[in-house]
């Protein structure tokens, strides 16, 4: 079975990082989202066209390379992080990859995402793999701490070896329309990140309207965000296709106006292979196949990989395996 299609994309080395731009309040105020139109469009994802058989297996292998393999629990330990990193090193059993003809492909997750105090543990566990560590910082998940404290969290994460920093915005700046304050904070975070890429978590379930979500997305991109991300995974409402569509449309508009490509990361509640395929279809249809690369698209998920493995095995055997056949190590 030849699934090499999953690896045929241009290298990320050609990607131009977002330098940041002056805050354009006129652009922000002109931004409006039509909820009913977005809901109608989102409702068509996964219904008009689907991928089947070998093509579906190829897409699922691709999905693994777009995954931020995540553990963000209150009871996380160094041992749990080490097990997660071991899983990242070998996300699919070798015999499955061999039967798929994918044993020579680099099927590894886009990153491992952990709390900032486990950065050093994850960096050591992933040494030599090329898999980056993404650290959640800035008083995750609420973002309500003194600015100096949040900046120091970022600095410590970078010093520990994190190559990506997932920050959370203060949702209050959006709810009261204080775009300058949001912009200034993201600029400070971007400076503290240095060469590490910054993903801005909007906490979309707490921003009240799709227009607020779109405006917050724009402000974060103008301030220098490399990615915009939906959720911490701790809100009552996390990633969904309607919210994603609003954010993706802003990414497209931003690219048209500035020439800069911004990444997108839906997170929270994405737990099945079917979910993954819908989000990938959304990205492909709205932004093009080019955006289905790890430097432009990630899933933030903890249990998604297990279901993808089950679907891959089902594609080969016709039977669904129990969850315990895909252990962490």
265 assigned to active site: yes
CA angle 47, 49, 50 (to 5 degrees): 90
Both tokens assigned to 260? 């800069």
Sort strands 133-136 and 197-201 into parallel, antiparallel or unpaired.
Answer: unpaired
Among the listed residues 87, 150, 199, 229, the single catalytic one is 229
The closest of 111, 115, 136, 133 to 124, measured between CA atoms, is 133
**Of these residues, 62, 150, 265, 278, which one is catalytic?**
265
166: annotated active-site residue: yes
* Residue 24 token pair: 């354009």
d(CA 300, CA 298): 6
Q: Are 165 and 133 in contact (CB under 8 A)?
A: no
Q: Which of 68, 166, 226, 275 is catalytic?
A: 166
- CA gyration radius for the chain? 19
Q: Assess contact for 303 and 271: CB atoms under 8 A.
A: yes
- Could you tell me which of 180, 202, 249, 225 has the C-alpha nearest to residue 29? 180
Q: Which residues face 164 on adjacent strands? A: 134, 197
The three-class DSSP label of residue 221 is helix
Sheet holding 263-265, edge to edge: 263-265, 227-229, 197-201, 164-168, 133-136, 111-115, 67-70, 299-301
Helix 179-193 crosses helix 147-159 at what angle (to 10 degrees)? 30
Polymer length of the chain: 329
Residue reference for tokens 């979309």: 204
State the sign of the Cα–Cα–Cα–Cα dihedral 111, 115, 117, 118.
negative
Decide if 275 is catalytic. Answer: no
- Active-site residue set: 166, 229, 265
């Amino acid at each position: 079975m030849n699934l090499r299609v999953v690896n045929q994309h241009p290298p990320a080395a050609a990607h131009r990082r977002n330098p940041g731009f002056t805050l354009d309040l006129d652009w922000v105020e002109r931004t409006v989202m039509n909820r009913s139109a977005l809901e109608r469009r989102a409702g068509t994802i996964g219904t008009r066209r689907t991928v089947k058989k070998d093509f579906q297996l190829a897409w699922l292998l691709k999905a693994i390379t777009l995954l931020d393999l995540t553990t963000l629990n209150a009871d996380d330990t160094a041992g749990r992080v080490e097990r997660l990193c071991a899983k990242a090193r070998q996300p699919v059993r070798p015999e499955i990859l061999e039967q798929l003809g994918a044993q020579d492909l680099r099927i590894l997750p886009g990153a491992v995402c952990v709390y900032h105090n486990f950065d050093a543990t994850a960096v050591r566990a992933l040494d030599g793999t090329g898999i980056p560590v993404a650290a959640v910082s800035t008083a995750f998940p609420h973002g309500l701490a003194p600015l100096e404290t949040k900046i120091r969290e970022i600095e410590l994460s970078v010093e520990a070896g994190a190559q990506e920093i997932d920050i959370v915005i203060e949702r209050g700046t959006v709810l009261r329309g204080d775009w300058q304050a949001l912009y200034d904070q993201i600029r400070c975070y971007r400076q503290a990140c240095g060469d590490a890429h910054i993903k801005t978590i909007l906490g979309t379930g707490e921003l009240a309207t799709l227009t607020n979500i779109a405006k917050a997305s724009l402000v974060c991109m103008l301030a220098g965000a490399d990615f915009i991300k939906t959720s911490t995974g701790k809100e009552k409402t996390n990633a969904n296709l309607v919210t994603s569509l609003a954010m993706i449309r802003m990414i497209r508009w931003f690219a048209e106006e500035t020439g800069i490509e911004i990444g997108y990361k839906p997170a929270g509640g994405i737990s099945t292979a079917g979910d993954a395929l819908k989000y990938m279809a959304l990205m492909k249809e709205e932004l093009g196949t080019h955006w289905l690369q790890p430097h432009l698209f990630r899933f933030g998920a903890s249990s998604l990989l297990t279901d993808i493995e089950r679907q891959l095995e089902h594609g080969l055997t016709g039977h669904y395996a129990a969850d315990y056949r895909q252990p962490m190590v």
